[in-house]
Amino acid sequence: MNEMLSPFDFKWEEIRDIAISLAVMTFVFSYPEILTSPVFIFTSLLSVGLAFMGHELSHRFVARKLGFYSAYKMWPQGLLLAVMLTLVTNGGFVFAAPGAVLFSGYWIFRNPSMKDIGLIGIAGVVFNLSLLYATLALFFVTSVPLFAFMGTVNAWLAIFNLIPFGPLDGKKVMDWNLRIWAVALALAVAGFVILAIY
């Protein structure tokens, strides 16, 4: 049981799903800039890699620390929709739902409580908010565009995931604690607006 609940236990299928999801998210966040500057794909890979993987692995880590078995599973329809919307809107809208961390309590013989679900749900957003404001501070100090892009990616992932609808994190967090959801959304929107202005 301890081995199954280790945060560092990855199966081949999970590594595959993470890699495919990362590749698609890297593309959608880099389009259409890569058409005129192909090397921008590396900027996107670094930024999205930290934001996306940090988000999903935070869900996974907290779920396992709470005793639940958890693993990332890509959503093929979501990946296809992400690519289609990116092409249709010329990169104007990023559908950021490539998959999700699924968790189960069968190893500890109990169902997750609303608090468990809320804590697991907010974990990914907290990671993105932390990276958002860290890169925002670095951008203000250095004026390096990379930090602004990284901040924008993290802000958008936080905002999108906080939408209180369906399987997104926002619904889980709002059902658990409306105040925490509102504060997280306000911080995400504020960071996004600041980056858009500057």
pLDDT of residue 108: 59
Residue-wise pLDDT tens digits, 85-106: 999 999 999 999 999 999 887 6
Interval 166-180 mean pLDDT: 95
Note if 14 is an active site residue.
no
Q: How far apart are CA 97 and CA 78, in angstroms?
A: 6
Q: Look at residue 1 and tell me whether its pLDDT is greater than 60.
A: no
What Å distances lie between residue 3 and 17, 21, 54, 57, 67, CA to CA?
A: 21, 26, 22, 17, 12
Q: How far apart are CA 98 and CA 4, in angstroms?
A: 24
pLDDT of residue 107: 59
Structure tokens at 173: 């967090």
In one letter, which amino acid is 180? I
pLDDT of residue 84: 97
Q: What share of the chain has pLDDT > 70, as a percent?
A: 94
Instruction: Note whether 161 and 125 are within 8 A (CB).
Output: yes
Structure tokens at 48: 């999205």
Measured in degrees and rounded to the nearest 5, phi and psi for residue 179 equal: -65, -45
Measured in degrees and rounded to the nearest 5, phi and psi for residue 155 equal: -65, -45
Q: Look at residue 183 and tell me whether its pLDDT is greater than 80.
A: yes
What's the whole-model pTM score? 0.92
Residue position matching structure tokens 């501070």: 137
Q: How far apart are CA 106 and CA 28, in angstroms?
A: 36
Q: How far apart are CA 30 and CA 146, in angstroms?
A: 12
- Which residues fall within 8 angstroms of residue 154, CB to CB, at 6 or more apart? 51, 128, 129, 131, 132, 135, 191
Q: What confidence tier does 58 reach under pLDDT thresholds 50, 70, 90?
A: very high
- The mean pLDDT of the chain is 93
pLDDT of residue 111: 83
Q: How far apart are CA 196 and CA 156, in angstroms?
A: 11
Q: Look at residue 3 and tell me whether its pLDDT is greater than 60.
A: no
Instruction: Note whether 185 and 176 are within 8 A (CB).
Output: no
Residue-wise pLDDT tens digits, 152-170: 999 999 999 999 998 899 9
DSSP-H helix ranges across 33-144: 33-36, 40-65, 76-88, 114-142
Q: What confidence tier does 185 reach under pLDDT thresholds 50, 70, 90?
A: very high
Among 8-22, 99-113, 130-144, which is the least confidently predicted range? 99-113
What Å distances lie between residue 123 and 83, 185, 193, CA to CA?
A: 26, 13, 22
Residue-wise pLDDT tens digits, 113-128: 999 999 999 999 999 9
Q: How far apart are CA 112 and CA 131, in angstroms?
A: 28
Interval 32-53 mean pLDDT: 96
Selecting among 13, 14, 33, 56, the annotated active-site residue is 56
pLDDT of residue 7: 64
Q: Look at residue 34 and tell me whether its pLDDT is greater than 80.
A: yes
